[in-house]
Chains A and B, each alone.
Chain A
Amino acid sequence: MKLVHKITLGNTLGIICIILVAAFSYHEFDILLAKLRFVEIADNLNASFLKMRLAEKNYFLYKDKSALQEIREQLKKSYATIKKLRKDITKAIGEKNFQELQADLRAYEEAFELVENADVLHTSGGARGKAIREAGRRLRLFSEHIVKIERKSVNKIISASKRALLTFFGLTILVAITSSYLFFSRMFKNLRRIERTANAVSKGEFVKIKGPIPDNELGSAMNAINKMCEELMTRHEQLIQSKKLSSIGILTAGVAHELGNPLNNISMVAQTFMEVHESLSPEERLEYMNIILQETKRIKEIVQNLLDFSRPKKRDFKISDINHLIEHSLVLVQNMLHVSRIRPKLELQDNLPPVFIDEDKMQSVFVNLITNAIQAMSAGGVLTLRTKYDEKEDPDRIIVQISDTGKGIPAEFLSNIFDPFFSTKGTEGTGLGLSISYGIIKNHKGEIEVESEVGVGTTFTIKLPIYREKEGKDGRQENHGNR
């Protein structure tokens, strides 16, 4: 079910509950009001009845004829009230009780009329006096009885409503908490999966979201992220290639210079030879030709290095000597070192255990780090390339360090420098070199770290797992499967 549907359903159920409670409360209050209204009417009637009985007493005790007038008036008033408020009264006490009340009133009236129409004054002890007193008593008893019942019923309704509302309130809170918990815990779980992947991607590890993908908006987002990861993986490969090409761009000036010199040497030797060959001894002629051969060899080496560096190669993991690879990388940047007047210093430990690496990719990491180091230093700087292996300290890995004596990286940038598109070189850097290097090292199951102090220099430390005979085949498969 889609999230928007779940939320709509939840809201609709909530609204229905509120409407039900409102209807229930409205109904209860309606009854309550009717009952209260009746209690009010009944109080008025009771007052009239009381007055009738008082007049009745006066008539019998003091033979006061005007008392009969009072009873007649109160009777009239009571009839008027009953007639006028019949609807309200029946609503509260029902038709049966209403009829009984009316009958009692009529009985009283009849008894009263007998007394009223008689010529003689009646005593309270007489038959007519007894009848009227009995009817009056019954009328009051009944009306007081129903008032009592109604008061009780009002109390009952109020406490029942209170209970119902409290129960509903409790249930609502319970349902809201349970459903929110179920709803949000699943949502947050999925959001956390997305977060983990996003973090991995920002570190250059393009892993897809694993496990079942829910069929809702989060699922759509997960599918989009997975597609993005696939796309990034492809782009990453392309970027490595393009970064290499841009490194070649940086190297081009140097290479042009490198090639220009031996070409010029050959040309000048040839020109001079042609000019002076007659006066040269056979040894001197051989020397001239040797210079040409040497310079040709020099050109061939430069071209070969460039080809090795630029040619897109298939993933090619092999057992390799890291010292040899570092020396080879240094040749590629020789001219940059010359031009920038940076002194390279090699501190390579002898007899390093072999590593199982893609030499082409590892070389691009070294060239990238060395290029960065050269760019960070001014003339006279020292570039140190160091390799170490200490069986006691870390029996499984060798260490490669590339240190410069450059301007250093401010502490606030250190945590970002492996992020894609992060560059401290302004418009000159693509911000991809270190990110790609990071990816390559990770792909070799290695680690790359940086330490830096502003004004003192920067050291990159790479830790690479050493090659072990029995693990070789496994390592090969793992490495191939990665990217």
Chain B
Amino acid sequence: MEGKRIMVIDDENIVGKMIKVSFERDGYIVETFVHADPAMKRLSEEKFDLVITDLKMKDIDGMEVLKRIKKESPETKVIMITAYASMDTSIEAFREKADDFFPKPIKISDLKERVATLLGG
């Protein structure tokens, strides 16, 4: 997994921080954002292999982020995370071609496993 680029977007900064600490030990390159706008700007500058984004954020709907990524860079994998998951939102996320959906609290080992599968295959 050396060199694979992962972006984390979550207005809870601890989420990004912890994913960064844990994932960088495994050789991933992780960038974290608490606002969607700079994240989207960064995405247009550089190609990321995977984006982990919160569904519900202060300044933008995570579903909107998902749509934009899938439109601008379809090969980028997207994992949605949310603290308040309902069946409807998860169905909508998959319909918008999210690659996976993780309800909070996130089990980091499961997330790592899923990321490895998505990026390895």
| Interfacial residues, chain A to chain B (CB-CB below 8 A) | 253, 256-257, 259-261, 263-269, 271-272, 275-276, 291, 295, 338-339, 341
A249 to B19, CA, bound (A): 33
Within 8 A of A (CB), among B46-61: 56, 58-59
Within 8 A of A (CB), among B97-117: 104-109
Minimum C-beta distance from A297 to chain B (A)? 14
Do B83 and A268 have beta carbons less than 8 Å apart? no
Do A272 and B21 have beta carbons less than 8 Å apart? yes
A residues near B106, Cβ cutoff 8 Å: 264, 267-268
A256 to B108, CA, bound (A): 21
Minimum C-beta distance from B112 to chain A (A)? 10
Q: Can you identify 30 A-B contacts, CB atoms within 8 angstroms?
A: A256-B83, A257-B83, A259-B83, A260-B83, A263-B104, A263-B105, A264-B12, A264-B15, A264-B105, A265-B15, A266-B105, A267-B107, A268-B15, A268-B19, A268-B105, A268-B108, A269-B18, A271-B18, A271-B22, A271-B107, A271-B108, A271-B109, A272-B21, A272-B108, A275-B108, A276-B22, A291-B14, A338-B58, A339-B56, A341-B58
Minimum C-beta distance from A219 to chain B (A)? 57
- The contact of A276 among B14, B21, B105, by CB within 8 Å, is B21
Chain A-chain B contacts (Cβ-Cβ < 8 Å), number:
62
Closest 8 CB pairs of A and B: A260-B83, A264-B104, A267-B105, A268-B18, A264-B105, A257-B84, A265-B14, A272-B18
**In this complex, what residue of B is CB-closest to A254?**
B84
Minimum C-beta distance from B116 to chain A (A)? 15
With A267-B104, A268-B108 known, 10 other A-B pairs at CB within 8 A are A257-B83, A261-B83, A263-B83, A264-B15, A266-B105, A268-B15, A269-B18, A271-B107, A271-B109, A338-B58
Minimum C-beta distance from B25 to chain A (A)? 7
A residues near B14, Cβ cutoff 8 Å: 265, 268-269, 291, 295
State the main secondary structure of chain B at its contact with A.
Answer: mixed
Do A260 and B104 have beta carbons less than 8 Å apart? yes
Minimum C-beta distance from A379 to chain B (A)? 9
| Interfacial residues, chain B to chain A (CB-CB below 8 A) | 12, 14-15, 18-19, 21-22, 25, 56, 58-59, 82-84, 104-109
Do A275 and B22 have beta carbons less than 8 Å apart? yes
- With A263-B104, A269-B18 given, is the CB distance from A257 to B25 under 8 Å? no
A126 to B19, CA, bound (A): 168
A275 to B106, CA, bound (A): 15
Do B84 and A275 have beta carbons less than 8 Å apart? no
Q: By CB atoms of chain A within 10 A, which of B15, B21, B107, B109 has the most?
A: B21
Q: By CB atoms of chain B within 10 A, which of A256, A263, A264, A338 has the most?
A: A264
A204 to B55, CA, bound (A): 43
**In this complex, what residue of B is CB-closest to A258?**
B83
A267 to B110, CA, bound (A): 13
B residues near A261, Cβ cutoff 8 Å: 12, 83, 104
A301 to B98, CA, bound (A): 34
A268 to B109, CA, bound (A): 10
B residues near A257, Cβ cutoff 8 Å: 56, 83-84
**In this complex, what residue of B is CB-closest to A262?**
B12
B residues near A263, Cβ cutoff 8 Å: 83, 104-105
A261 to B56, CA, bound (A): 11
